[in-house]
Chains A and B, each alone.
Chain A
Amino acid sequence: MSWTVISVARRKLNEFFFGPDKTRWDLVRIGTALSVLGPLILLGISGNYERLYGHYGMLPRTEALDRVYWPAFLFLMKSDPAWIWRIYWATAAAALCLGLGLCTRIAAALTFFLYVATVQRNLLSFNGECGILGFTLLSLAFAPSPQRLSLDHLIFKKPLPTVAESWPARFLQINICMMYFFTTVGKLVGQWDVGTGEIWYQISLCDWFRFPNVEWLRARWICWLAVHSSLLLEGSFAFLVWTRLRLPLVMLMMTLHVLITILFGNALFFFNLAAIVALCGFLRTTDFRRPREAAEPEILPDAG
């Protein structure tokens, strides 16, 4: 009896991690590259890159030597102030290759390391999207490659992988589940006044909120609805996303992030973009197809 249970569990585990992968990696890849490139371009043209990561910036090189984690030593290894700009262009080039799907895995691994090194150089620049992009970029370094919408496949005619395993997608998905689950737990055990939803009243008056003058946005029932529906959605996501509710739930979650982008200041734009991109890791190539098309088995070009 127990032997049967063990073998069933092993089969399920094998299916879960090593079953065929139909994840929309192309969406994850392109979105992740944009989430890295967008802020990088803004950092470069504003002078904020030098301000945050420069040898004579907010955290001078001499001070940083004793304060940063090892990936940031990439920035500190040369005393030439122009050195950080070489890292800047290398990061931009790696992210561009990732977005275009050129040597995807190498580009993802390189972008991951350069991105981590940049954030670690000055942790004042650390924020929500950094955590999300960390695990998304690492998943991309292991994800099946080349992908559909990539130069490797479209221009250089590299065949799509015949056998793709799910474990890189599972890594991404489990991380997203942990993110939403622990955020909800944090809100429940923290200082949030969850009962009446008055935390939303406070949020609607903070200087990050775009519409502090719109009175109805803090009506009691809106406060209650905003807090409880977001908690329900985030809290149940980690469990329900593995059921048939996956697609509507993921779409609902993406809508929530779009709504947050509209309601709040620019500071939350790239965070929500990164979250939406990571959520694409739950989308399958068969989603959004007509029922008959989706039911047909996928014929990969080089599978004959």
Chain B
Amino acid sequence: MEMPSANLPPSSTSWREKARKTGILLLLLGLLLPPFLVNIGSNAEQAGWPRLAKLNQPLPFLQALLLCQQWTLFSQMSPFNFTMHFHVALTDGQAGDLRDWDKERAGKWESVLFHNEPKTELNLYSDPGAQRLYLEYLVRRSGLNPSDIARRTIYLSYRNIFSREKAAKEGTYYGPETYFVLDSY
């Protein structure tokens, strides 16, 4: 049976206490130091300091638990307004953009029910593999047979934002709508 700590001799209690506190400090150090170093490395990468950039190492255990965030990501933004499109051309000659029925069903509540969708689209924009998987999801949801599809195209429609001077000259803040193909297969 374990003796309550109040009955232990003082030296034993203080030894236990020191061990407990050291353990807690080591745990905190283990949780706080890696993200600190990773963020230094990540910033150094952006600043072009290759030696410090080496600190940005993958830490799968902490990353799996969302405990090693790269806070530099908060300081990045896309430099234009964009919409992603997922286009299919069928073997019978028909073609068109795929629609996301879940989002369309939400109607005027889309911006509330799918409140995080702009961020999901940003994540999609930076992950070509996920773009293809999403296209296949839209194909399944549309009831199309994948073998009937001759060509799949993922493209962006975007509008650049003019600089202040150019906007004054053009009379508008936004550039013309432009298209950019991200993937075609």
Contact = CB atoms under 8 A, between A and B. Distances in A.
Interface in B15-72: 21, 24-25, 28, 31-32, 35-36, 39, 42-43, 46-47, 60, 63-67, 69-72
A189 B120 contact: no
A259 B150 CA distance: 49
A170 B60 CA distance: 24
Interface stretch (A129-137, A152-160, A244-252, A283-291): A129-137
Contacts of A126: 123
A278 B84 CA distance: 33
B95 interface: no
A138 interface: yes
A124 B123 contact: yes
B2 interface: no
A187 B164 CA distance: 21
Most chain B CB within a 10 A radius of its CB, from A56, A175, A192:
A175
Contacts of B78: 206
B120 A57 contact: no
Nearest to A202: B161
A39 B116 contact: yes
Interface stretch (A27-35, A40-48, A295-303): A40-48
A167 B65 contact: no
Interface stretch (B3-11, B130-138, B177-185): B130-138
Nearest to A14: B21
B107 to A, nearest CB: 11
Interface in A1-39: 13-14, 17-18, 39
A301 B121 CA distance: 51
A202 B43 contact: no
A171 B31 contact: yes
B164 A201 contact: yes
Contacts of B118: 207-208, 265, 267
A77 B67 CA distance: 23
A46 B114 contact: yes
A267 B116 contact: yes
Nearest to B62: A134
Contact of B161 (A181, A182, A206): A206
Interface string B101-130: 010011000011111111110011001001
Interface of B: 21, 24-25, 28, 31-32, 35-36, 39, 42-43, 46-47, 60, 63-67, 69-79, 81, 102, 105-106, 111-120, 123-124, 127, 130, 133-134, 137, 140, 161, 163-164, 173-174
Interface of A: 13-14, 17-18, 39, 42, 45-48, 51-52, 56-60, 63, 69-71, 116, 119-120, 123-128, 130-131, 133-135, 138, 167, 170-171, 174-175, 178-179, 181-187, 189-190, 192, 198, 201-203, 205-208, 265-267, 269-270
